[in-house]
Structure 1
Amino acid sequence: MSVTPSRAQRGAKGPRRSGFKIIVFAVIAAVLGVGAVPLAAQAADDTSISGEVVMAYADVGEFLVAARVSIFDASGDGQTPVATVVTAQDGTYLFAGMAPGAYRVRVSPEPEFLTQWYPEKDSFAAAGNVVVDAGGQVTNISFHVGESGVTHRSIYGHVYDGMMVYDHEDGPAVSALAGATVEVFDAAGDGTTPFAVVKTDAYGQYYVNNLGTRTIRVKASAPGRVSLWNSNRLSFDTVSDTDRWSGDFHLYDSANGIAGVVYGAPARVELFDAASATSPPVATTNTVNAAFEFRDIAPGRYTMHIVNGTNPTDDEWYTGKRTRETANVLVIEATTHYREMEFMINRPIAGPKPTISGTVSACTTLTAESPSWFPAPVTLSYQWIVGGAAVTGATERTFAVPADSVGKTVAVRVTGSKSGFDSLSQTSNATAPVIACMLGSSKPVITGPAHIGSTVTADAGAWSPYPLTLAYRWLRNGTVVPGATEETYVLAAEDAGNSVTVEVTGSRPGYADVLRTSDPFAVDRRLDATPTPTIAGIARYGSTLTASPGVWGPIPVTVAYQWLRNGTAIPGATSAGYVIAAGDIGARISVRVKGSKSGYTPETRLSVQTSAVGPRLFTTAPTPRITGTVRVAATLAATVGAWAPAPTTLTYQWYRNGTAISGATGAVLKLGAADVGKRMTVRVTAARTGFATTARMSTQTTPVAQGRLTATPTPTITGTTRVGRVLTVHAGTWKPAPVGLSYTWRRNGVAIAGATGTATTTYTLVKADVGATITCTVVSTKTGYVSVTKTTAKTAVVRP
């Protein structure tokens, strides 16, 4: 009926053995009215609840790490925990420092484990209360949890040897009985046939799971031991039914017995018949390793006497009594065992570390708090300590702090004394440094408008004595505003609809700092709709721009306008519309809208800037035309057309194949040789004050043609046509000058070798010319002009 563990965060635990110091603490704590605590809880000096969370499996020693354990106010609804912790590596947990009161405890393990309320309940309503007194330490509030989806009616616990053993290093402990048999019977049966049987493990632990909702009776047995049923009963018929029972069995080899330990020294333990005040002991035994045991005691009433084996005058009667007549009675019945009884001889005084109450100020009196010394009554004496040095005469429970103690710590040493006991001194923790007397102060007041962006001022009021220093700290809804440490504070957007307060701290050497806080100062709310305005219209001189503020809310919100030129307010421009002035040309225009509403912080929003404002445009800007013959030496003229309004100035630029012609900036252009084959254009630029300078480009002309010579006369030859005589050619006047001419002399129409060139205007007749006629061809050369060829008339036939 066991379930195999499946999680990694588990560990195995062996049987717990209490060390000597732990047991001593337990004895003292029992006398003081405080339960014994585990090691984790002993570290706490204040109110605490502690325990462990163990997995509910047959191997009961497995614990859960990082399980969430929460405590709830028992008077609440179980919804909101007072505190939550997680279990440590050994499955333990500890709550410390909670207020005294009644609590309910819940464990919430990993998702596959069942949530459980203490003690083993399924809900807050069914859970039991854990009551913690001031300074009390409630321990062993432990849980055994199982996996979800499994029926978790279960029992678990240990089976121990009834006789205690003692070890000088580890102290007293019981021995686990490994292999003991634990049987579970249906309470409706006859106790002869168990429906579940398990064996204890090496630690004496057992666990039986999945019991359903039946009522049961449980029996533990081991070889050589008297078998026991739950509640330490000897038979099935004497056991009370239970639906969920967990606990430990202590099996003895006798039916009745008394066992325990005596601390401090070897001791003799004597058992007396309580019916007689003078009879000798019915049984005597000596402690062995501090442990003792009486077995097979006949039913009856007994008292017990413990005597120090090394100092017979140091003795005690059960429990803590000084005489036989006042001793408590032990009643032995069938199957009665008094186990784990604990006594102390040579015992010291025990007392807590003292605490100090009161304000640690040179103007006050402190009180030493040191209750619950053991064994009562204990005489207490006091010594107050300032700055680590004992104060002469300061030996009362109260202490008036002297003025020269400012800046020093205070502690108190309490010494407990009792006849026959060793005295014990306990010293408190040191206080914080002593502060001086308090300053006179006033509650500060916040003044100023409650709008976001406004400056408010802290009026500190009257403080005394002067001189003193005042420091300021502003808070929003109780939270410190970073960096807000001046007397004034500018209300930020985060303050809207909230409250601000100011803390004023007064300081003066030799005095304690005093902090005073103002009443809350309500800050106006913020408008919930603050759209960015937009501008409609063309950004051009003379045009009208119109601001659209958008819908501000909550309605109604009053809006105001301010137009800006390059971010600077334009005087008088406070309407929704704005006519662009000449001074705006080149600037960018925007509009700022301010929304206002009672009880709300005014807000402003700025539109996006327009593009740079441009000048007006000409309404008519025609394309110029070029007139004239497109030929070298001809003149072209630019016809600009009718501009509107009329330009103040017109300028021209002529272009040759798209390249500006240097100096060609008139309305006309005379074509030159460089223009041959090129296409001509002209750009006309109009200008007028307040208007955009505008240029228009003509269409291209046809390619410029070569020029034509205006005068090309026919050349003539003079001279005698006889061998040896010189002939001369006369070219005449060619225009426009200058015109380059070249000459070629011909014999009967055929060019004469060597008689050609630009300088050959003469020719000497030779024998070869006899019988032939002579002519001369003249060819013109001029850049940009068509070349012209002219030939003279024939001469007479040349004679020898």
Structure 2
Amino acid sequence: MHAKAVRRSLAATLVSVLAAGALVLGTGGAEADVLGSMEVSPATGTDTSGITLTTAAPCPEPATNLIVAVKGSGFPAEGQIVVSNSPISTYSTAPNGGIVVPLTQTMRDYASTAGFTTLQGRYDFTLTCRAAFGSATYGDFAAPIWFTSNTAYQSTTPTTATTTTLAASPASPVVEGTAVKLTATVAPAAAGGTVRFLDGTTQLGTPVAVTGGTATLTTSALAVGTHALKAEFTPSDPAAYGASVSAPLSYTVKIKPPAVVTAAKVTGTVRVGSTVTCSVSFSGASSVSYAWLRDGTVLSGATGRTRTLASADYPHRIACRATATNSTGSATSTSPAVTVALGPALKNGTKPSIAGTHRVGYRQTARTGTWTPAATSYSYVWKRDGRAISGATRSTYVPTRADRGHNLTVTVTAKRAGYANGTATSVSVRIG
């Protein structure tokens, strides 16, 4: 009889203990307060590492026992018990008074018990301070870990990788001075922080805050040449998001095309024989070419900045056209047309003279002298004592009796197209 009574007493006690443990996972008890955190040791490990949890403080009185559960992907929604209802006194005490609880199995073991094979994402350990029996609890300590792969975990929040891409508008190439809008896109869009825009290693402007996954900067300061533009993202919470930098964006800035500063104009004395200049100025020109026009038609071979007006230009209208070029483009300016005036009178160098025997009945021949520019034709007037002799208009003259004892001269008129006529009179000879 005594042995049977003892067995009945032990069975009743075991049923009470199991019932008390089951109540932890039930809904009968009041919601527990959060007492603090727990340290996970080691801070990084594998699915087969032994894990020890250390609470930040002791359990409050009148708690005498503890229970530990884990929740996360693969485990039941209510969590899986990894330390059953156990007396606190069975565990050692940390210097801060916290409870040191080594888990008896690994995360791989717990996953196998729950019936899954892939550990991924966040898992939360909860240590509940409680009484030995009943449903009363006195607060929780919590600690998360993250499996960054099926086999590796860490006790700190994993950093989310970011990507940064860079775009520029308008598209390359552009001319210097163009306002270029740089747009950096950071993914994921929830990542907060700033973006530095770089031209090679030189920062453009100041860092720009990321809003809704983008940051923009507009600059007109890009110099002529090819640039390697980048966007460098710095997270405001480096524990949550990683930094990232865009691939270099090749961007070309070209020199401005030439521009007319002073419009073309024909300067100088606009008459035959004079040299005129195409006066014009450009900005940004690497070279300037010229053309001359007569009555709107381009003159072949007339490509200098200056031009000496020829007989054929009189009395036409001439203009000049200047074209400036550089590696980007060109600009052209055409002057107003101006009318070419008659050139100056031909200038006599050596005076005309009379050749022959200066006597009545002997032929007298006019020598024209020299002229600048050279004459192309001449006319003559023979004079007796300074008065024109009627009908004596050829290059030769035969004196008559009326000329005996008088002075004979010849006035030569030199002619050339486009120039005023030049005249000169010979030295007189006395006719005997």
Same fold (TM over 0.5): no
Q: Which has the higher helix share?
A: 2
Q: Which has the higher strand share?
A: 2
Q: Normalising to structure 1: TM-score of the pair?
A: 0.22
Q: Normalising to structure 2: TM-score of the pair?
A: 0.38
Q: Which has the higher contact order (CA 8 A, sep 6+)?
A: 2
Q: Tell me which structure has the larger Cα radius of gyration.
A: 1
